[in-house]
């Protein structure tokens, strides 16, 4: 049996893009995962994508960008602690980077889209230090100001929000001296511009990569699995910080992508995550651009 493909490289003009699998998670669905849709419809949406009945799926696909002589990593996956769990199916970014010749010290810059664990936990090495010892970490300014604000933390509702604040301090308190912030509409590194896409998180940010009249849009968590957020843009997910704002962002972004036919790289799309967005009635579909092969 052949080994699964865990990286997929392509060029955008003079910039190289490499999707690198961190893994995926398939698990029984919890009722209430989608706040405003019947549970049977949510289950059927996944079944239509080939998932076992009653199960959901979340892929994790960080992106390497080689631009301006730098090796840049966008988001870091579930992290070493996840990979160490019995039966782990995610947290394998470092292993898969090594398979394509990228060592931790080769990463010059880490760009973060938002402060959820599947995007920031991989910043921390198993021994507790930086997983990327030479890398500068650049994060959206409004995302940093919210999650690092002690007053906001004190106001956080019990459960998910308090847990997110605790995890973000666990990650960033030890890495703060490496962090700089960037604004929306700023060129973060050559050819990579930050695009504000709030709702899923207050400062959630996507990235538009452009070189020589070619582009790709790193959609990040504007969309979760296409079975949910692309085909059902009006569904509100329980882990969206502001579900109404997330829906507005999602509808605006998907309409723009369908109109322009701009290729996307999906963090939570089935690997390798390359697709175009097509309008289908009042919803959309993600049409794969490449197979992982």
pLDDT in tens, 201-226: 999 999 999 999 999 999 999 999 99
Any alpha helices (H) in the chain, and if so which ranges?
Answer: 39-47, 80-83, 93-99, 117-120, 141-147, 150-155, 160-172, 226-229, 243-260
pLDDT at 10 over 90: yes
Does residue 293 belong to any structural domain of this protein? no
Does residue 60 belong to any structural domain of this protein? yes
Structurally, the chain folds into a number of domains equal to: 1
Does residue 199 belong to any structural domain of this protein? yes
CA dihedral 56, 99, 137, 25 (to 10 degrees): 10
pLDDT at 21 over 50: yes
CATH number of the CATH domain containing 105: 3.60.15.10
Does residue 129 belong to any structural domain of this protein? yes
Q: Both tokens of residue 239?
A: 């882990």
Q: Both tokens of residue 19?
A: 């999707």
Does residue 247 belong to any structural domain of this protein? yes
| Cross-strand bridge partners of residue 162 | none
Does residue 91 belong to any structural domain of this protein? yes
Does residue 2 belong to any structural domain of this protein? no
pLDDT at 199 over 50: yes
Asked if 203 and 107 touch (Cβ cutoff 8 Å), the reply is no
Does residue 212 belong to any structural domain of this protein? yes
Q: What is the pLDDT of residues 234-292, one digit of tens each?
A: 999 999 999 999 999 999 999 999 999 999 999 999 999 999 999 999 999 999 996 54
Q: Closest by alpha carbon to 31, among 22, 42, 46? A: 42
Q: Closest by alpha carbon to 269, among 291, 249, 238? A: 291
Q: What is the pLDDT of residues 40-94, one digit of tens each?
A: 999 999 999 999 999 999 999 999 999 999 999 999 999 999 999 999 999 999 9
Host domain of residue 188: 7-288
The pLDDT assigned to 290 comes to: 66
Q: Closest by alpha carbon to 112, among 61, 73, 84? A: 73
């Amino acid at each position: 049996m052949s080994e699964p493909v865990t990286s997929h490289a392509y060029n955008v003009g003079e910039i190289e893009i490499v999707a690198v699998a961190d893994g995926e998670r398939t698990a029984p669905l919890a009722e209430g995962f989608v706040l405003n849709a019947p549970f049977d419809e949510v289950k059927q949406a996944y079944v239509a994508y080939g998932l076992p009945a009653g199960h959901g799926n979340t892929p994790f696909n960080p992106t390497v960008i080689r631009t301006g002589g730098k090796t840049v990593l966008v988001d870091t996956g579930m992290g070493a602690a996840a990979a160490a769990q019995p039966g782990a199916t995610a947290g394998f970014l470092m292993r898969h980077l090594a398979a394509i010749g990228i060592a931790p010290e080769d990463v010059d810059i880490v760009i973060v889209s938002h402060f959820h664990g599947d995007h920031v936990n991989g910043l921390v090495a198993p021994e507790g230090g930086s997983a990327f010892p030479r890398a500068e970490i650049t994060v959206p300014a409004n995302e940093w100001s919210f999650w690092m604000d002690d007053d906001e933390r004190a106001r956080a509702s019990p459960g998910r929000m308090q847990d997110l604040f605790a995890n973000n301090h666990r990650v960033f308190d030890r890495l703060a001296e490496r962090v700089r912030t960037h604004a929306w509409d700023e060129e973060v590194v050559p050819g990579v511009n930050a695009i504000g896409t709030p709702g899923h998180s207050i400062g959630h940010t996507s990235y538009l990569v452009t070189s020589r009249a070619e582009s790709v849009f790193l959609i990040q968590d504007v969309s979760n699995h296409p079975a949910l957020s692309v085909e059902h843009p009006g569904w509100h997910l329980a882990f969206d910080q502001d579900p109404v704002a997330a829906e507005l962002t999602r509808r605006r972004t998907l309409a723009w992508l369908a109109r322009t036919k701009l290729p996307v790289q999906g963090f939570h799309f089935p690997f390798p995550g390359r697709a175009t967005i097509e309008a289908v009635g009042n919803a959309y579909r993600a049409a794969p651009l490449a197979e992982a092969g």
